[in-house]
A and B are shown apart, each in its own frame.
Chain A
């Protein structure tokens, strides 16, 4: 029972970060109908940014989120304005290829600058744990990152539901043309959405950097995970992505314990294919006609 509880808790904790990644992707897809294949690479850029801030300025990765978030927002806005904006009306495969290309550029530029060595960001609490009782313990950095994730997610929900800009973003996601007719600056909303999506991915990168190896190719793992999460939750649904993230986190940690850690990703992909086959609209998605 302790093992079960233990893996459930660590699944939920890592699932929080996954949710952040998934929300970013789903936001971008919702507003622009573009599947961002560079999502994991944007996360990787966030990781290296955090690593640099930590080694050069000595700022703790969890504190540096305050710097990473706005910087990654600007980076995402730039990507949207210069590249993505030009292919909004292009064929789906061209959009996908463009983002794959951008991802390759990011990961290989980082490789040129930092080489492909694995970097480790070790803080004083990197391997610390907190005993909960009943034989269950929780990794300190994971717990902190989960709390930050929860705070960011709550703030994001508030932003999307209560502010004018948030409502304009949701309106654009619902119906781009109608939103434009209502006087919403759709182009600006797209830039904000891509910026937010990138900021969320970058923040997720910052939050996992104390517990994860940092290397230029780390992105592709997370790109694939982000897809699984968003498809599971329903493309474009923020609530779905939140749920999907936690579900994938639990699935991973459960299958690592009860099957084997080598096969846990296979379990996730099989789950993904099953969802694609039997409920392509996802958990929270509305079936489109």
Chain B
């Protein structure tokens, strides 16, 4: 009993802390990092519902992320529709796309499902490149200005600073966490897990496999599209490779793999590792550190080489992490931690 109170108290404390951070932190860079972190958690958590709980390892989530981002941006760019209306259009578009994809891909299992999900995402990416009148083709869509958010005549926020984005991001995290918690503790979640563990057994128990897989997909896709719309508005630019590329799908999946699939805190843990690491590489922090501690001379050939190239290497890091995690902790960090805890318990007894 004491433990649950402690747990809820610490979660509440964390939430309050996150809510008041923008009051004290003014550095736009720190806020930017937090926003990236929120986006990553939201993406991972969305994938987790379908991949982690229902066991359908989609490698095509870029389709939903990209359709959400593109719909919002296209409506804002060509029709002048404000993003918080566009977001709903994005979600509606994604539901249509998800149901089409679901009806095709869920007839397939295992590796065939993975291949089909990739193929669908690739079709979306190629379509975005080729449907130039709608999507501006390979050049992408650039939004120079985001209209202010008004209710009636009062301006709620004008999106000039990063603070409104921070709160939207935090809201997305809470939303996806809440949905995941609900899924885990509802009948729906048990159906998902039954399908994940043994599809045929679940079917013989009377679970409508196709229906529940599609429900899982729609929930996951809608949440991913929200993250996509948020990305589009925050960055102000979308083009086919950055929101619809295979890399995007892989990165979304990685968050869960590294943290631990099918757990609530897995994607949070995965983001806490991936985002700072890749940002440290991207911003040349690691090279600067190496120079500072005197391991590398900044003017030497190696120093210049590192400075020029290490910033592109964050994907290399993803690759190395994935290989290490699969080989040494196939259940992700959460699984690894749980295993350690179980071993300690056993030894204590």
Which residue numbers of A lie inside 8 Å of B, CB to CB?
35, 83, 86-87, 90-94, 96-98, 100-105, 107-109, 111-112, 115-116, 220, 224, 227-228, 231, 260, 262-263, 265-266, 269-270, 272-273, 276-277, 280
Chain B residues near A100 (CB, 8 Å)? 59, 250, 319, 322
CB distance from A109 to the nearest CB of B (A): 6
Per the bound structure, the CA–CA distance linking A262 and B123 in Å amounts to: 11
- Inter-chain contact A35/B126, CB cutoff 8 Å: no
- Inter-chain contact A270/B316, CB cutoff 8 Å: no
Contact of B186 with A by CB under 8 A:
no
Contact of B349 with A by CB under 8 A:
no
Chain A residues near B330 (CB, 8 Å)? 90-91, 94
- Inter-chain contact B115/A105, CB cutoff 8 Å: no
| B65-73, B103-111, B293-301 - interface stretch | B103-111
Per the bound structure, the CA–CA distance linking A105 and B104 in Å amounts to: 32
Per DSSP, are chain B's interface residues mostly helix, strand or loop, or mixed?
A: helix
Given contacts A87-B327, A94-B326, contact A103 B107 (CB under 8 A): no
Chain A residues near B112 (CB, 8 Å)? 231, 276, 280
Chain B residues near A101 (CB, 8 Å)? 318-323, 326
Chain A residues near B107 (CB, 8 Å)? 277
- Inter-chain contact A262/B130, CB cutoff 8 Å: yes
Given contacts A92-B111, A105-B320, A265-B126, contact A98 B313 (CB under 8 A): no
- Inter-chain contact A266/B313, CB cutoff 8 Å: no
**B residues 289-325 touching A (CB-CB < 8 Å):** 309, 312-313, 315-316, 318-323
- Inter-chain contact A273/B120, CB cutoff 8 Å: yes
- Inter-chain contact B323/A96, CB cutoff 8 Å: no
CB distance from B307 to the nearest CB of A (A): 13
Per the bound structure, the CA–CA distance linking A263 and B137 in Å amounts to: 13
Contact of B188 with A by CB under 8 A:
no
Per the bound structure, the CA–CA distance linking A263 and B131 in Å amounts to: 10
Contact of B50 with A by CB under 8 A:
no
Chain B residues near A277 (CB, 8 Å)? 104, 107-108
- Inter-chain contact B120/A105, CB cutoff 8 Å: no
- Inter-chain contact B309/A104, CB cutoff 8 Å: no
Per the bound structure, the CA–CA distance linking A260 and B137 in Å amounts to: 15
Given contacts A108-B315, A112-B309, A273-B120, contact A87 B326 (CB under 8 A): yes
Which residue numbers of B lie inside 8 Å of A, CB to CB?
57, 59, 104, 107-108, 110-112, 114-116, 118-120, 122-123, 126-127, 129-130, 246, 250, 253, 257, 309, 312-313, 315-316, 318-323, 326-327, 330
Q: Which of B119, B246, B319, B323 contacts A108 (CB 8 A)?
A: B319
Given contacts A263-B126, A273-B120, contact A97 B257 (CB under 8 A): yes
Per DSSP, are chain A's interface residues mostly helix, strand or loop, or mixed?
A: helix
CB distance from A230 to the nearest CB of B (A): 10
Chain B residue nearest in CB terms to A101: B322
Chain B residues near A224 (CB, 8 Å)? 118-119, 122
Per the bound structure, the CA–CA distance linking A92 and B114 in Å amounts to: 10
Chain B residues near A97 (CB, 8 Å)? 253, 257, 322, 326
Query: With A94-B330, A104-B316, A111-B312 given, can you name 12 additional A-B contacts, CB distance below 8 Å?
Result: A91-B330, A93-B57, A101-B323, A104-B319, A105-B323, A108-B316, A112-B312, A116-B312, A227-B115, A260-B130, A263-B126, A276-B115
Per the bound structure, the CA–CA distance linking A269 and B127 in Å amounts to: 12
Chain B residues near A112 (CB, 8 Å)? 309, 312-313, 316
CB distance from B233 to the nearest CB of A (A): 27
Chain A residue nearest in CB terms to B326: A98
Chain B residues near A96 (CB, 8 Å)? 57, 59, 111, 114
- Inter-chain contact B111/A35, CB cutoff 8 Å: yes
Chain B residues near A87 (CB, 8 Å)? 326-327
CB distance from A207 to the nearest CB of B (A): 24
Given contacts A35-B111, A93-B114, contact A220 B246 (CB under 8 A): yes
Chain A residues near B130 (CB, 8 Å)? 260, 262-263, 266
CB distance from A255 to the nearest CB of B (A): 12
CB distance from A167 to the nearest CB of B (A): 27
CB distance from A280 to the nearest CB of B (A): 6
Chain B residues near A108 (CB, 8 Å)? 312-313, 315-316, 319
Per the bound structure, the CA–CA distance linking A266 and B121 in Å amounts to: 11
Chain B residue nearest in CB terms to A116: B312
Chain A residue nearest in CB terms to B321: A101
- Inter-chain contact B115/A231, CB cutoff 8 Å: yes
- Inter-chain contact B115/A270, CB cutoff 8 Å: no
